[in-house]
Amino acid sequence: QLQIVESGGGLVQSGGSLRLSCETSGFLFDVYAVGWFRQAPGKEREWVSCINGGGNITHYKESVKGRFTVSRDNNRYTVFLQMNNLKPEDTAVYYCAVDREPFPPGCRTDLRYRYWGQGTQVTVSS
């Protein structure tokens, strides 16, 4: 029914790039905001980025600004996280989550999203 699947993680060296995908099904996708989150071993899960349903509003955690870009293809029901210039401190399990877009339009910058994927591992070696 409602399905969220992350993919694209892997092992890269510092300075490398990865593109994560969040494929969804069962949603009226253009009215849902999507957030990206990560959780490193022994750490709390943290919000990283988000994009609203229309794709015209995005937000980023300060430490990833200029390196990560979130985008969406509503025709494919998919949100992407392009991660460039990766650093060892980016190592974590990355999750996407989906929630109804708030009004006024935008996306939440906290962890209060309703539907969550299973995560994909990103490991950045030094």
- The string of DSSP letters for 18-43 reads EEEEEEEESS-GGGEEEEEEEE-TTS
Q: In the prediction, which pLDDT does 32 show?
A: 93
Q: In the prediction, which pLDDT does 31 show?
A: 87
Q: How far is CA 58 from the centre of its chain?
A: 11
- The tens-digit pLDDT sequence of the chain (126 residues) is 889 999 999 999 999 999 999 999 988 888 899 999 999 999 999 999 999 999 999 999 999 999 999 999 988 899 999 999 999 999 999 999 999 999 999 999 999 999 999 999 999 999
Q: In the prediction, which pLDDT does 55 show?
A: 95
